[in-house]
Amino acid sequence: MSELSTRLHHHLEHAQVYEAARVTALEPIPLLGARLGQPVWLKREDTQAVFSFKLRGAYNKMAQLDETQRQRGVIAASAGNHAQGVALAAARLGIRAVIVMPVTAPQVKVDAVHRFGGDLVEVVLSGDSYSDAQLAAERLRQERGLTFVHPFDDLDVIAGQATVGLELLEQHPGPLHAVFVPVGGGGLLAGVAATIKRHRPDVKIIGVQTVDSDAMVRSLEAGHPVSMADVGLFSDGTAVKRVGDLTFALCQEHVDAMIRVDTDEVCAAIKDMYEDTRSIPEPAGALALAGLKQYAAGLSTPGAPLIAICSGANLNFDRLRFVAERAELGEQREAIYVVTIPERRGSLQRFCRLLGDHAITEFNYRIADAGEARVFVGIRTSQGGRQGLLQTFREAGYPTLDLSADELAKLHLRHLVGGRAPLAQDEWLYRFEFPERPGALGRFLEHMHPHWNISLFHYRNHGADYGRVLIGLQVPAEERPLFQAFLEQLGYPWSDESHHAAYRELLRCD
């Protein structure tokens, strides 16, 4: 064991954590475990008073300060969770604190810092990432003579986080294959890895980072800490451009492997945790579980239990819509395609028949060409079913482009299908509420008069009991009474939007 590891264990022996933090539960998540064929457990650090493990390290560091340092006050830089830990510690210990947070920090975290720290805490917003905030904090530290409370690269902070590992070992003394740890600057990974390896060297320690904030992965690959020019901000709690020197050295000594996960995998892990626990972690809090799932998928045979540390739950509520949108793609339960079909009556109905029992999750179409129609379609699939659907469409003579892994399509293009269409003569625009079940669209098409043509179609599954559908139908004026009878017989709620101002300004030509 290295001298650094020995020093860490000395700090751990004198750690003061439980005056503010609590022992968190180690919970089984049986639904995901059954799906993976592997026992899976979650260490619930999201249930701390500040909804994050960061309280442990922040409080331990500030509790070790001498009286002179306490009188001067402290300063910290944080993307949010460390800031809340420092704020609560400041209030408990009566220490004034300045906390610098990036302007991209979720508002829920900024508000929580004010709430936990009260009048003892001053919040400064600066920069787009933790590393930017750290530079601003260093300037203020020098100007005001404050003590810097580092979020990860400090032995007292690392020792505080290491108590997670001690708890985990006490709670799960039996066989254990691997522990998965989310990684930003590396404080939690360094502390947990060094602690578990001291007592259970047989247990694998695996760090998990996002593909666009993988400074620890790159550093371990290079053999020294490296700096990233930019980091992704979706997992804001781990958006660190450079890992710590201390955390790097400890991880290099004790960590067995690192895993990268993408945004869709993180969103899928958030959904998995919700389904098993009815709790919603933040993206950084779901990182370890996303890595665990990726690792488990590569195991040839089930082994001993796997544990993921859920590090936090400080999620902005408005981010949930994005998470829900991407979770199905992360689980490979939704595929999105652009399919070219002949632009003639009945083509859409024939295309829907190819889907069989597959549910449509999204359908966007706007008439644009007299010969061909291109539809943007999302389809619920079983895991790994994308290629089978792609082959089905192509064998039926429909040229198809698979966009399931295309970031431009997932973020933007799916919302841009539409516009004015000179071919859309005699068009009427209607909103419908379809029952949210497979075959609802097919039944609509079967009852529709064969003379009427669909010139616009927009639908996206939003998880409700019914689907909201916008349809443009080309119905000659003389057939309007027949169309009205069709609407009455259909039995779906509807609304005529043909005279809507936005429709006339953006979509209608005549």
3 state SS for 231-293: CCCCCHHHCCCECCHHHHHHHHHHCCEEEEECHHHHHHHHHHHHHHHCCCCCHHHHHHHHHHH
Which CA distances in Å does 14 have to 9, 86, 251? 9, 19, 22
295 or 405: which carries more pLDDT confidence?
Answer: 295
Residue 510's pLDDT is what? 66
- Band of the pLDDT at 290, cuts 50, 70, 90? very high
Q: Which position has the higher pLDDT, 32 or 349?
A: 32
Q: Give percent of the chain above pLDDT 90.
A: 52
Whether this prediction's pTM lies above 0.85 is answered by: no
pLDDT confidence of residue 302: 74
pLDDT band, residue 381 (cuts 50/70/90): confident
- Which residue type does 370 have? A
What is the pLDDT averaged over residues 469-484?
A: 88
Instruction: Tell me what pLDDT residue 156 has.
Output: 97
Q: Is the confidence at residue 466, as pLDDT, over 70? A: no
Q: What is the Rg, in whole angstroms, of the alpha carbon atoms belonging to the chain?
A: 27
Are 308 and 288 a contacting pair, CB within 8 Å? Answer: yes
Angle at 250 between CA 244 and CA 252, to 5 degrees: 95
pLDDT on residue 74: 97
Tokens of 459: 């639908």
pLDDT digits (tens, 9 = 90+) for 314-329: 888 878 888 887 887 7
Active-site residue (options: 52, 219, 311, 455): 311
Q: What is the distance between the alpha carbons of residues 362 and 429, in angstroms, rounded to a whole number?
A: 18
- Asked if the domains at 3-52+155-327 and 332-506 fall in one CATH topology, the answer is no
User: 143-147, 217-221, 334-338: which has the minimum mean pLDDT?
Assistant: 334-338
pLDDT given for residue 471 in this prediction:
87
Q: Examine the pLDDT at 448 and tell me if it is beyond 80.
A: no
Give the chain's mean pLDDT.
Answer: 89
Above 90 in pLDDT, residue 462? no
Give me the pLDDT at residue 216, please. Answer: 98
The better pLDDT of the pair 184, 426 is held by 184
Q: Which CATH class is domain 3-52+155-327?
A: alpha beta
Q: What digits encode the pLDDT tens for the residues 249-277? A: 999 999 999 999 999 999 999 999 999 99
pLDDT given at position 336? 87
Residue-range domain boundaries for the chain: 3-52+155-327, 56-148, 332-506
Q: In the chain, pLDDT over 70 holds for what percent of residues?
A: 96
- Structurally, at CATH architecture level, domain 56-148 sits in 3-Layer(aba) Sandwich (3.40)
pLDDT single digits (tens) 182-192: 999 999 999 99
Does residue 109 have an active-site annotation? Answer: no
146 pLDDT tier (thresholds 50, 70, 90) = very high
Sorted by sequence, the CB contacts under 8 Å of residue 470 that are 6+ apart come out as: 429, 430, 431, 432, 456, 457, 458, 459, 497
Inter-residue contact 345 to 373 (CB < 8 Å) = no
Cβ–Cβ contacts within 10 Å for residue 66, how many? 8
Query: Could you tell me if 353 and 438 are in contact, meaning their C-beta atoms sit under 8 angstroms apart?
Result: no
Check if 54 is active-site.
yes
The single residue of 5, 43, 54, 271 carrying the catalytic annotation is: 54
Predicted local confidence at residue 432, as pLDDT: 83
Inform me whether the pLDDT recorded for 418 exceeds 80: no
- Give the pLDDT of residue 464: 54
Residue 437 pLDDT exceeds 90: no
Partners of 310 in beta bridges: 44
Phi and psi of 190, rounded to 5°? Answer: -60, -45
What is the distance between the alpha carbons of residues 343 and 491, in angstroms, rounded to a whole number? 28
- Quick one: pLDDT band at residue 105, thresholds 50, 70, 90? confident
DSSP letters, 12-47, are HHT---TTT--PPPEEE-HHHHHHHTS-EEEEEGGG
Task: Residues 332-506: name the CATH superfamily.
Answer: Biosynthetic Threonine Deaminase; Domain 3 (3.40.1020.10)
Per-residue burial over 271-281, b if 16 or more Cβ lie within 10 Å, else e, is bbbbebbebbb
Lowest model confidence (mean pLDDT) among 95-104, 227-236, 351-360: 351-360
Which segments of 335-490 does DSSP mark as H helices, in order?
Answer: 347-354, 386-395, 407-411, 440-447, 480-490
Q: Is the pLDDT of residue 100 over 80?
A: yes
